[in-house]
Amino acid sequence: MSNIKKTSTKRQSEIVSAESTTAINEKLLGKNPSKPMKKIEIKNVHCWYGDFHVLRDIEMAVDPNTVTALIGPSGCGKTTFLRIFNRMNDLIEGFRLEGEVMIDKKDIFSRELRVNELRKKVGMVFQKPNPFPKSIFENVAYGLRVNGITNKKIIAETVEHSLKQSALWGEVKDKLHKNALGLSGGQQQRLCIARAIAIEPSIILMDEPTSALDPISNSKIEELIYDLKQKYTILIVTHNMQQAARVSDRTAFFYLGDLVEFDETKTIFTNPKNEKTQNYITGRFG
Amino acid sequence: MNNEQVKTLKNNAFKIWAIIATSIGLIMLAVLLIKIGMDGLHRLSFDFFTALPSRRPEQAGILTALVGTLWVMVTTAVFAIPIGIGAGIYLEEYARKGWWSSFLEINISNLAGVPSIIYGLLGLEIFVRTLHLGQSILSGSLTLSLLILPIVIVSTREAIKTVPSTMREASYALGASKWQTIWMQMLPAASGGIMTGIILALSRAIGETAPLIVVGALMYVPFVPKSVFDSFTVLPIQIYNWVSRPQAGFIINAAAAIIVLMLITILMNGAAVILRNRWQNRVKW
Ligand SMILES: Nc1ncnc2c1ncn2[C@@H]1O[C@H](COP(=O)(O)OP(=O)(O)O)[C@@H](O)[C@H]1O
Ligand SMILES: [Mg+2]
Q: Do the interacting molecules here have an ipTM over 0.90?
A: no
**For ligand 1, is residue A75 a contact (CB within 6 Å)?**
yes
List, in order of start, the domains of chain A with CATH numbers: 3-281 (3.40.50.300)
For A119, the closest of B167, B174, B188 (CB atoms) is: B174
CB contact under 8 A, A123 and B173: yes
Task: Return all residues near B233 (Cβ < 8 A) that are at least 6 apart.
Answer: B64, B65, B68, B217, B218, B219, B220, B221, B241
A182 touches B at CB < 8 Å? no
Residue boundaries of the structural domains of chain B: 3-43, 48-282
Residue-by-residue pLDDT tens, chain B, 285 positions = 688 888 888 889 999 999 999 999 999 999 999 999 998 888 888 899 988 888 888 888 899 999 999 999 999 999 999 999 999 999 999 988 788 888 888 888 888 889 999 999 999 999 999 999 989 999 999 999 999 999 999 999 999 999 999 999 999 999 999 999 999 999 999 998 999 999 989 999 998 889 999 988 887 788 888 888 988 899 999 999 999 988 889 999 999 999 999 999 999 889 888 888 877 665 544
DSSP bridge partners of A103: A40, A106
* CATH classification number, B48-282, choose in 3.40.50.300, 1.10.8.80, 1.10.3720.10, 3.40.640.10: 1.10.3720.10
- Name chain B contacts of A133, Cβ cutoff 8 Å: 167, 188-189, 282-283
Of A53, A76, A205, the one to substitute when testing ligand 1's pocket (max ligand atoms within 8 A of C-beta) is A76
The packing angle between helices B3-40 and B248-282, to 10°, is: 130
Nearest to B172 by CA among B160, B161, B184, B162: B184
**For ligand 1, is residue A80 a contact (CB within 6 Å)?**
yes
Q: How far, in Å, CA of B266 to CA of B255, rounded? A: 16
Atom number, ligand 1, closest to the C-alpha of residue A257: 14
- Name chain B contacts of A197, Cβ cutoff 8 Å: none
Are the C-beta atoms of residues B68 and B137 closer than 8 Å to each other?
Answer: yes
Q: What is the pLDDT of residues A116-160, one digit of tens each?
A: 999 999 999 999 999 999 999 999 999 999 999 999 999 999 999
The amino acid occupying position A246 is: R
Instruction: Give helix then strand counts, H and E, for chain A.
Output: 12, 10
